[in-house]
């Protein structure tokens, strides 16, 4: 057994041998350097509430929870605040020795579109245990905007891992000394004494302008908007959906409960080609803030001098004061079993967020 996350060519091999199947077939464009995009099938279900199918098939639970079913072939609107379950085109056909973990895609998170993967008789969201065979489903809850989705659209992605692949803090220090993992505004690796490690790299929020943050320092979602058609990239006016947040003179701002914000990380991230990374919530002890929806960073993200992470922030319970560079999330790094043949930013991939500053989803102009 080799500890680590599977990469591009290994995912290709799983598909080629029929371990993963779909009708229509899985497209080459779904395969990323260390993850696989999953697509919505032809039918959706508006349900009374979300559920965790620990001891049942998802299809059986849907029989009692569904308010109505609808067709996705030509597109359908998912209403803000409602809960939907949509079967996915891809299914696991052969037992695999890998733990499968899911995460929303970057554009999904930036639309405040809450998604969670479900599998039959599985007692955890976003996780499929080794040995599972069967269908996969996605729970979808639009939080800020109504969205139009259709068959074939990818909202989430999965990773396959074996053994213990997470890097220790000592290993992270060694990686940073070799080529840099976090970079400052000038594109230089952070000095080792400025690195904050605690089972991962601690990172902060940017609330002051700098080299590539010259306009707003953040965005907050407008409350009453039109529909985001997720098949229409670059076709929506950002001002109709988000209000820009100007820089505060003191580098502070108060975020309000149950509003949705987009910020950029203070530091720039570089993911070496032999590693993958994942953004995780830092610590509930710092406040009731959801600080990430979409957390996978593939091999090669950030190029040679790092790229900002975009943070999707939703405070809960009480207003909360944020300060420039304040830590409230971290990045964990993982070994991959091989070097991927394709890395993030390669021309054959649609890598929308390489070299980003503060950037909304690809659907806005």
pLDDT of 356-365, one tens digit each?
678 899 999 9
Q: Are residue 16 and residue 95 in the same domain, yes or no? A: yes
End-of-domain residue from the set 93, 128, 162: 162
**CA Rg, the chain, in Å?**
20
Residue 10, pLDDT score: 98
Please write down the HEC assignment for all residues of 99-133.
EEEEEECHHHHHCCEEEEEEECCCCCCCEECCCCC
How many structural domains comprise the chain?
Answer: 2
Are residues 229 and 100 part of one domain? no
Residue 70's CATH number:
2.70.40.10
Range of the domain at 323: 169-335
Q: Are residues 280 and 156 in the same domain?
A: no
Q: Could you tell me if 88 and 233 lie in one domain?
A: no
Q: Answer yes or no: do 179 and 137 share one domain.
A: no
Query: How big is the CA angle at 256 (ends 296 and 281), to the nearest 5 degrees?
Result: 25
Distance CA 36, CA 166 (A): 19
* pLDDT, position 39: 98
Residue 345's region, left for phi above 0, alpha for psi from -120 to 50, else beta, is left
DSSP state for residue 339 in the 8-state scheme: -
With residues binned 3-state (H G I as helix, E B as strand, rest as coil), the percentages for the chain, rounded to 5, are 10, 40, 50
* Token duo for residue 81: 């605040």
Report residue 193's pLDDT band, with 50, 70 and 90 as the boundaries.
Answer: very high
Kindly state whether residues 151 and 191 are assigned to the same domain.
no
Residue 80 lies in a domain: yes
In a domain, residue 342? The reply is no
Do the domain assignments include residue 353? no
Percent of the chain with pLDDT over 70: 93
Last residue of a domain, one of 134, 162, 190: 162
Q: Mark residue 8 as left, alpha or beta (left: phi above 0; alpha: psi -120 to 50; beta: remaining).
A: alpha
| Top-confidence range, 83-92, 248-257, 288-297 | 83-92
Do 193 and 155 share a structural domain? no
> pLDDT per residue over 334-343, tens digit each?
999 999 999 9
Domain match, 175 and 152 both: no
């Amino acid at each position: 057994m080799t500890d680590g996350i599977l990469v591009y060519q290994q995912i290709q091999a799983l598909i080629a041998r029929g371990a993963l199947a779909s009708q229509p077939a899985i497209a080459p464009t779904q395969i990323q350097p260390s993850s696989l995009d999953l697509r919505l099938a032809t039918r959706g279900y508006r349900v009374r509430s979300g559920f965790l199918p620990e001891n049942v098939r998802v299809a059986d639970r849907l029989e009692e929870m569904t308010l109505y079913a609808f067709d996705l072939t030509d597109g359908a609107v998912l209403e803000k605040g409602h809960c939907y379950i949509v079967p996915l085109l891809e299914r696991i056909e052969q037992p695999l020795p890998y733990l499968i973990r899911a995460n929303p895609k970057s554009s999904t998170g930036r639309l405040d579109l809450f998604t969670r993967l479900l599998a039959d008789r599985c007692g955890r969201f976003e996780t499929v245990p080794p040995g599972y065979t069967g269908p996969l489903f996605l729970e979808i809850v639009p939080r800020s905007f109504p969205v139009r989705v259709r068959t074939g659209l990818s909202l989430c992605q999965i990773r396959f891992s074996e053994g213990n692949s997470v890097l220790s803090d000592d290993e992270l220090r060694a990686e940073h000394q070799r080529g840099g993992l976090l970079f400052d505004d000038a594109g230089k690796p952070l000095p080792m004494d400025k690195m904050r490690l605690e089972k991962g790299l601690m990172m902060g929020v940017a609330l002051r302008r700098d080299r590539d943050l010259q306009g707003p320092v953040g965005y907050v979602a407008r409350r009453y908007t039109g529909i985001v058609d997720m098949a229409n990239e670059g076709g929506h006016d950002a001002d109709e959906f988000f209000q820009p947040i100007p820089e505060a003179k003191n580098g502070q701002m108060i975020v309000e409960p149950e509003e949705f914000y987009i910020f950029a990380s203070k530091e720039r991230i570089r993911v070496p080609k032999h590693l993958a990374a994942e953004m995780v919530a830092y610590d509930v002890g710092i406040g009731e803030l959801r600080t990430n929806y979409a957390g996978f960073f593939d091999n090669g993200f950030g190029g040679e001098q790092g790229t900002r992470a975009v943070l999707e922030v939703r405070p809960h319970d009480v207003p909360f004061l944020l300060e420039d560079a304040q830590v409230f999330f971290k990045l964990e790094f993982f070994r991959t079993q091989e070097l991927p043949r394709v890395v993030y930013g390669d021309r054959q991939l649609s890598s929308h967020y390489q070299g980003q500053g503060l950037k909304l989803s690809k659907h806005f102009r």
